[in-house]
Amino acid sequence: MSGKFFGTDGVRGQANTYPMTAEIALRLGAAVGRYFRRDVQEHRVVIGKDTRLSGYMLENALTAGFTSTGMNVFLLGPVPTPAIGYLTRSMRADVGVMISASHNPATDNGIKFFGPDGFKLSDDAQDEIEQMLHDGVDPAQPQNIGRAKRIDDAGGRYVEYAKTTFPKHLRLDGLKVVIDCANGAAHRVAPAVLWELGAEVIKIGTDPNGFNINEGCGSTQPQVAAARVVAEGADIGICLDGDADRVILVDEKGQVIDGDQIMAVIATRWARVGRLAHNTLVATVMSNLGLERHLAAQGVQLLRTGVGDRYVVEQMRHGQFNLGGEQSGHMVMTDYGTTGDGLIAGLQVLAALVEEGVPASTLLAQYTPVPQKLVNIRYAAGAAPLDAPAVQRAISHAETVLQNNGRLLVRKSGTEPLIRLMAEAEDLSLLDQVLADLQQAIEGAA
């Protein structure tokens, strides 16, 4: 076996196609099980999944791998990714696993690993596991093979925990909330939390069939929720992705609100009451320049990382910051969890809505964004368009043009064969021209 398995967020690919096969999942389970086995009597792993059909195959294969190295497996069924971070710690497991391809279509799947502290694995840990995959893993002796057990109340445990993050003196009585669960992992827990806190709940994307996760719904396609908010006269819409680790909101007018505005709401409130650690928000290079200016005016620092919630979390842990996230909707609040949590972030915004007594359109317009445009360019397998001299020259020219007028970001996707372009500028014609020239250069080399 050769090649690299781990990307920016675990292992991901098309289901039943290398590397997302039952064989590789079994070997991964064995390698991770061997890596995390400690010198104690019992070794535990919790495994959750979203609603993809291929989750059954990968769950069984991982279970075989883990038990072959002496790990006892606790199968949680469909639960959000943040529930895995929480339950890994609360159930005193050595490792947690989430089977999900997040916002990708149902034909894809992925495997994310969490350490005993509930945080995703570091690059160093993943590199060691990769090496074990290549070298092979010694199985446990027959008398030491692990057992597997299904935990029926995993979702309920997370529901109760999520409710504890909402201020005890507040209720959602009188609020009408549209919740879009993307036919994914939160299809039961998210509506339950909102209803139990008092909201009138209108559900979308809560009928998974194994094939419809993220299909025409969820955080990547919030238009259906937006239309429903307007039609129902709802106060707000909450759109989760397939594994519920990210959230996009919709105000009462049907306007879609991205993660930058959500971070602005939470950071502003936390800073005002002295709760924002080191008066700093951690976000990625994708976050809007308008957010940075808004926070700076309040004396709050915006610390940027590379793209990926894992890198946000790493920076948060390094600097002991308690709030971070991504424009795409990952919201990480280490006071509450170890990874992005779309539902708990939504609860923070709902608390603000109740306390401030203003419409969502007012609350969620914290700043005026600098015009920002994104372009994705697909390239052929094996190609390296960013290495082409013509592309390098085009990037250098674009950076010079935007130097005093905006920002430019050019990067490869960590999960797909795409070059992602992002540019910001107050001058829309300049913005369009820069992106058009770069796109032409990259497509010529792709």
Query: Which residue in 237, 194, 240, 195 sits closest to 217, CA to CA?
Result: 240
Annotated catalytic residue, options 68, 100, 102, 287: 102
Identify whether 122 is a catalytic site residue: no
DSSP state, residue 246:
B
Write down how long the chain is.
446
CA-nearest of 170, 123, 131 to 414 is: 123
Q: Identify the CA nearest to 50 among candidates 237, 177, 181.
A: 181
List the helix and strand counts (H, then E) for the chain: 14, 18
Pairwise CA distance, residues 353 & 341, whole Å: 19
Give alpha helix (H) positions in 136-166.
154-164
Rounded Cα distance between 427 and 237, Å, is 32
Q: Which strands, in side-by-side order, build the sheet including 331-333?
A: 301-305, 280-284, 323-325, 331-333
d(CA 428, CA 119): 40
| Residue 311 CA to its chain's centroid (Å) | 12
| Amino acid at position 22, single letter | A
Question: Are the beta carbons of 97 and 111 closer than 8 angstroms?
Answer: yes
Q: Where does 15-140 show beta strands of DSSP type E?
A: 44-49, 72-78, 95-99, 108-114
Start-to-end CA distance of the chain, whole Å, equals 28
Contact 80, 158 (CB under 8 A): yes
The two tokens of residue 216 are 């025409």
- Residues marked active site are found at 102
